[in-house]
Structure 1
Amino acid sequence: MTGQPVKRNYAAATLDYLGARYVGVGPELCSYTTEAIQIPMRDGVKLAADFYSPELPNKQSPAGLIMIQCCYGRGAGISFINARIYAARGYQALFVSTRGTHGSEGVFDPGSNEEYDSQDIVSWMRQQPWYPGSFATLGASYLGYSQWALLHDPPEDCIAAVIPVAPHDQAWHTWGTGSFRLDRASWSDLMSRPDEDQGSFLSSLANIPGLSFLRSAKLEKAVADLPLEKSLQKYFGDRAPWLFEYLKHPNVDDDYWASRRHHIALERTNIPILLVSGWYDTFTTQTLHQYRELCERGVNVNLIVGSWTHVQGSGLHSMPEIMDFLSEHVAKTGKYNRSQVRVYITGSGEWRSLQSWPPSTQPHALYLQESSGLGFGLPTQAARPTSFVFDPLDPTPSIGGNQMSAGGRVNDSAYADRPDVLTFTSEPLSEDLEIFGFPYVHLMHESNPPFADLFVRLSEVDIEDVSHNITEVYRAIDLARDTSQPLKLELQDCAHRFRAGTRVRLIIAGGSFPMYARNLGTEEDRVRSDKTIPQRHTVSIAGGVSQLVLPIAIPV
């Protein structure tokens, strides 16, 4: 079932023009028409879609076809960045609403249907008179996840993919640290609301993840109350049933997650791929994992990482590169004349072009010292351990970092004033120090009781004594670990220059709330119990047993 093609009106053309100026792309080549479509799936469900067709002069052929699957609607704001900007530059674009969302039939069950629905969309496209014989995929965040689901079984006629800030593994994000990622609750709140007016530009922006925040004080309270699951059930009622399935399956290897994990796509995909991320994105770790896996197999993969949050990394600041990538691999009219890897170096304010990620580095250890110090010299064997207490009823707050909505590079100096946080800070550096890749820590650590989490962050203290975050890691402690050996934790990749005069700071805490569900200090389920026990964390430093290891760039 299809509608009639509708020509772009003046208001849409104006929005397209202003939006293109904002994202920094070149002039339009043409106008376009939009046609409403219903796409049948194998089980009889029909997905709502809009087909954008460029109005090219002199019977020119379209530059190629782009397929986009989206669960956030097809209104003005979201369609501009995902479809209209390309249609105005000669591409066909099929913009499809995910099952159970924004006019598409069926029930929305995040991650469970994308693998087969995407194959059905491709099968349907091949039967259309406008199908050019090949297509590319595009879209950020959940739209990128849908691409990985398609690439679980890559169609031969899929020739390229642009995948910004996107996971391939829902389980990894939800429970990969051993603690429940609480942005699953705020995202579920967004996704379980009734459809809003898709004609409104503002409502379209509200449907972009990361701009929704926690939406209401009631949700903030629901996330804070214990037991967590019961509190969320009271808030959600019969909305977002998938959220409670998430809570029931903390084991990432559980069968429940099988249809929501697409590691196999990284083993099967051979098409050119452009990955885009931000150092403060929610899915940075997964994007860099995707890059490494594809690189090891010799896949043609390009990587861009800016100093961006989730929304900033979704394509708003990398549209010129995306256009160049499509020009080479889809339109076949240009060349992607950019390095394989381009990263923004925080602390320096500059971009760096690289042949691979990470570049060559050598490890340098800084040792945790008495009196909250951090230095290159070994502490004595007499150096005393240091400790803090994490109270689940007054949890250490999340400040910036890789949060979905409140993240980014921020002033995190407040951590140094909290009694439930350890900070170790170096003397001012005598010369610039560049790091690339993932720092890691060795911590001779124990907790009482043993049920505890660790949050570790690397920050920089500037000459004004203000601390800003660089990278971090969160991990629920494995009860089976050998406590006689240091605990090794790898922080997320980063690219940073410590300038001379700045100081290196290591931050250690027992939680990061509301980014992660709190460890309650008991052997009971953290999402179903309301019993809490404060946890005393002790870090030993004698003889250099606890250290921060930085991947320092090798001069070329």
Structure 2
Amino acid sequence: MLRRIWFFLALTLPGAVRETVTVPMRDGVKLATDLYRPEAPGKYPVVISRTPYNKAGQRGVSEYFADRGYVALAQDVRGRFESEGDFYPFVNEGLDGYDAIEWAARQPWSNGKVGTWGASYLAWDQYHAAMYQPPHLTAMFADVGGASLLDEFGHPGGIPNLGWARWLLQSAATSPAAARDPDARKPLMDAAQNAQAWLALDPKKRGQVLVKFPAHARAYADWYAHPTEDEYWRQKGFYTRGNHKLIKDVPIYFLTGWYDYFAEGVLENFAALAKIQKTPKKLMVGPWPHGTGGSECGNAAFGPEAKLDKNALMADWFDHWLKGKEYAVVGPENVRLFKMGGGPGDRTADGRLNHRGEWFTAAEWPPKTTGYKRFYLRPGGALGANETVAAEASYVHDPANPAQSVGGRYGNCVQDQGANRRADVLSYSSEPLKAALVISGMVTAHLSVRSDAPSSDFIVKLMDVYPDGYAMILGEGQLRARGARNELNINVGSTSNLFAAGHRVRVDISSSNFPRSEPNPAKANNAVYQGGANASYIELPEIGN
């Protein structure tokens, strides 16, 4: 019977046996799955990763698990690589994930305990499957999976994020249709190789490259057709936030980095599920980008203590929940956070800023603060602890000449922001700090603004400026405002950093951030008010050192 359902190719690996099988979904679609199992016969716990990026990329970690007494499944999601069916990002992963989990639990090599793991899309699809309450799902390891695709990757702050356009382009270029038709694939590859020029095109013209890839063209059109939260973005696969109560109550380990673009969603998911569920939830946040675990991020170095053996952490988590072993790596704390900063600020052998940092623990997220440090925008580009007389600073937003993205969550992590030399970027700096300032939590900005355009975008960046002028970006937030006059509250992002004595706090404000975000097409005369009844300021969550 199984041979009628499965196509499999068995390969013997050192310490593991690999098979490629096809797993049937409830609608008859078969999903290609690489199965790694120990050589010795028996019943084992199972760990599953489901990916749109080619299951072959999961081989290393899957073999790692098989060598440690697990059966590991790596599956191409519906419509990707070797799997059958039609692909549409995120929306099919719930029931397919459920079916994969329950199929694995029924196999003769399974002991009925199933864990799921993976990063980014591979974490989102875990949440989605868990919303359907698979009976045999026992534990999860969710790495950089967010809460709202609209808010974190589709239209953050109401502004189109061009990272989604690039993702759809790359997805189309690696689709089965592209593999079958190299001529249709070539325009996709040309666009990817000249991404900045492609992203600068008018949205409709930009989307023409997807014309021979209907599923991706539809997802691209849907992205623009739904700029605000509606039923489209509230589909379960996009909207973990609205479905926390549906997620099965199992132990979950959450992992993210301060420079991960899904960081806010990870933090939100952890806090919400820790509150409403009974099983343990743990959170680790390091000085990492979307790819977690390294000791460097962009051109900053955080020291060897920042490096994480992610495989060992995952194995320890699953050893506890799927095998009943005591923890050897996972600590007793609920929350483990990396506080950046405190380094000498010299350069490492490869030229990176030696910012360093250290780990600390907390009972919850966000950690308890000792207060909020407010810095007011002042005339002449100063940041001060007190309000000043009423004034304003104005600039012109020109969509044909947008301010460029430099580092940050949606860029190449930590980069020296340098001194501001653009007339359309307002820059404010504090005096050198007399004592260290330690922050951990959400940074917020309150801006009192005006504009002569129907809508205008406001982007805020927070930096830690070294005495030598190196400006290290810590967070960035954005919001699209409509109308002539607005009071804006902008989330600049969650972070944890020690501003050393002698450093400055810096805030930059602009109305464009390309190619992270699509420039607002309306040319605008914008202004930010300072002092008086319309004071603008940034607020930092201060904690004890």
Common topology (TM > 0.5): yes
Letter in 2 for 1:120: D
1:213 shift after superposition: 13
Equivalent residues in 2 for 1:64-213 (5 A)?
64-75=45-56, 77-81=57-61, 83-172=62-151, 173-194=153-174
Are 1:244 and 2:224 counterparts?
Answer: no
Matching residue of 1:215? 192
Describe the shift of the 1:192–1:128 C-alpha distance in structure 2 as closer, same or farther (beyond 3 A): same
Q: CA deviation at 1:319?
A: 2.9
Percent identity between matched residues is 27
1:477 aligns to what SS in structure 2? strand
Q: 2:339 aligns with which of 329, 345, 367?
A: 345
- Scaled by the length of structure 2, the TM-score of the pair is 0.85
Q: Give the letter for the 2:227 counterpart.
A: P
Tell me the amino acid that sits aligned with residue 188 of structure 1: L
CA contact (8 A) 2:95 2:132 kept: no
CA contact (8 A) 1:281 1:309 kept: yes
DSSP 3-state at the match of 2:59: helix
Q: TM-score, normalising length from structure 1?
A: 0.84
1:365 correspondence with 2:374: yes
Distance 1:235 1:317 in 2: 40
Q: In the alignment, is the contact (CA less than 8 A) between 2:402 and 2:513 conserved in 1?
A: yes
Name the residue aligned to 1:550: 540
Aligned-partner Cα distance in 2 for 1:3–1:282: 38
Question: C-alpha separation between the residues in 2 aligned to 1:61 and 1:37?
Answer: 18
- What whole-Å deviation, never above 9, does each CA across 1:347-374 have from its counterpart, x for those lacking one? 2321112222222111121111111000
Does residue 407 of the first structure (1) align with residue 412 of the second (2)? Answer: yes
Cα distance, 1:544 vs. partner?
Answer: 7.2
Pair 359,123 (structure 1): closer, same or farther in 2 beyond 3 Å: closer
Shift of 1:503: 0.3
Deviation string, structure 1 residues 490-546 (Cα, Å, up to 9, x no partner): 22111010000000001111011111111112xxxxxxxxxxx23423333336711
SS of residue in 2 equivalent to 1:326:
helix
Residue 347 of structure 2 corresponds to none
Deviations 1:135-187 (A, max 9, x none): 11100011111101101122232111001011243333212421111111111
User: Is the alpha carbon distance of 1:191 and 1:499 closer, same or farther for their aligned partners in structure 2, counting shifts above 3 Å?
Assistant: same
**Which structure 2 residue ranges, 5 or more long, are not aligned?**
1-5, 177-188, 295-306, 343-356
Matched ranges for 1:31-70 at <5 A: 31-56=15-40, 61-62=43-44, 64-70=45-51
- Say which structure, 1 or 2, has more relative contact order (CA 8 Å, 6+ apart): 1
What displacement does 1:316 show?
Answer: 6.8
* Cα distance in 2, alignment partners of residues 536 and 482 from structure 1: 10
Alignment check: 8 A CA contact 2:102 2:136 kept = no
Q: Read off the aligned partner of 2:241 and give its amino acid letter.
A: H
Aligned to 1:254: 231
8 Å CA contact 2:451, 2:485 repeated in 1: no
Contact 1:387-1:537 at 8 Å conserved across structures? yes
Deviation at 1:472, TM superposition (A): 1.4
Are residues 169 and 137 of structure 1, via their aligned partners in 2, closer, same or farther at CA, if it must alter by over 3 Å?
Answer: same
Between the aligned partners of 1:408 and 1:316, the Cα distance in structure 2 is 18
Separation (CA, whole Å) in 2 of partners of 1:51 and 1:60: 15
Give distance in 2, aligned partners of 1:191 and 1:316. 29
In 1, are the aligned partners of 2:146 and 2:240 still within 8 Å (CA)?
A: no
SS in structure 2 opposite 1:232?
A: helix
**Residue 492 of structure 1 aligns to which amino acid in structure 2?**
G
Aligned equivalents of 1:440, 1:546: Cα separation in 2? 11
Do the aligned partners of residues 316 and 223 (structure 1) sit closer, same or farther apart at CA in structure 2, a change above 3 Å counting? farther
Larger strand proportion, structure 1 or 2?
2
Give the C-alpha shift of residue 256 in structure 1.
6.1
CA contact (8 A) 1:435 1:552 kept: yes
Is the alpha carbon distance of 1:507 and 1:54 closer, same or farther for their aligned partners in structure 2, counting shifts above 3 Å?
same
Q: Is the 8 A contact 1:32 1:53 kept in 2?
A: yes
Which stretch shows the higher mean deviation, 455-464 or 337-346?
A: 337-346
Measured against aligned partners, the alpha-carbon deviations of 1:22-49 in whole angstroms (never above 9, x if no partner) come to xxxxxxxxx1101111111122211000
Deviation at 1:325, TM superposition (A): 1.2
Tell me how far apart the structure 1 counterparts of residues 527 and 432 of structure 2 sit (CA, whole Å). 28
- What is the 5 A alignment of 1:123-522? 123-172=102-151, 173-194=153-174, 215-217=192-194, 219-226=195-202, 228=203, 230-239=204-213, 240-241=216-217, 242-255=219-232, 257-260=234-237, 261-269=239-247, 270-299=249-278, 300-313=280-293, 317-335=309-327, 336-348=330-342, 349-361=357-369, 362-379=371-388, 381=389, 383-403=390-410, 406-414=411-419, 416-479=420-483, 483=486, 486-521=487-522
SS of 1:452's partner is strand
CA–CA distance in structure 2, aligned partners of residues 257 and 246 of structure 1: 13
- The amino acid that maps onto 1:510 is S
CA positional deviation for 1:99:
0.5
AA aligned to 2:256 is S
Displacement of 1:470 in angstroms is: 0.6
Instruction: Give the conservation status (yes or no) of the 8 Å contact 2:271–2:364.
Output: no
CA distance in 2, matches of 1:371, 1:313: 41
Instruction: State the alpha-carbon separation in 1 of the partners of residues 447 and 83 from structure 2.
Output: 51
Q: Distance in 2 between matches of 1:352 and 1:552?
A: 15
In 2, distance between residues paired with 1:235 and 1:434?
47
Write the distance in 1 (CA, Å) between the matches of 2:144 and 2:165. 19
- Partners of 2:156 and 2:430 in 1: how far apart? 31
Tell me how large the CA RMSD over aligned residues is: 2.3
Aligned residue pairs: how many? 492
Given that 2:147 and 2:268 are in contact with CA atoms closer than 8 Å, whether structure 1 keeps it comes out as no
Contact 1:46 1:105 survives alignment (8 Å): yes
Determine helix, strand or coil for the equivalent of 1:322.
helix
Per the TM alignment, residue 126 of structure 1 is displaced from its structure 2 partner at its CA by: 3.5
C-alpha contact (below 8 Å) 2:372/2:541 kept by paired residues:
yes
C-alpha distance in 1 between matches for 2:242 and 2:386: 45
Per-residue displacement from partner, 1:374-419 (whole Å, max 9, x unpaired)? 011331x3x421112111110111111111xx321111125x1111
Equivalent position SS for 1:86: helix
Partners of 1:54 and 1:92 within 8 A in 2: yes
* Cα shift at 1:88: 1.5
Q: Is the 8 A contact 2:475 2:492 kept in 1?
A: yes
Rounded Cα–Cα distance in structure 1 between residues aligned with 2:29 and 2:135: 25
Determine if contact 2:102/2:134 at 8 Å carries over to the other structure: no
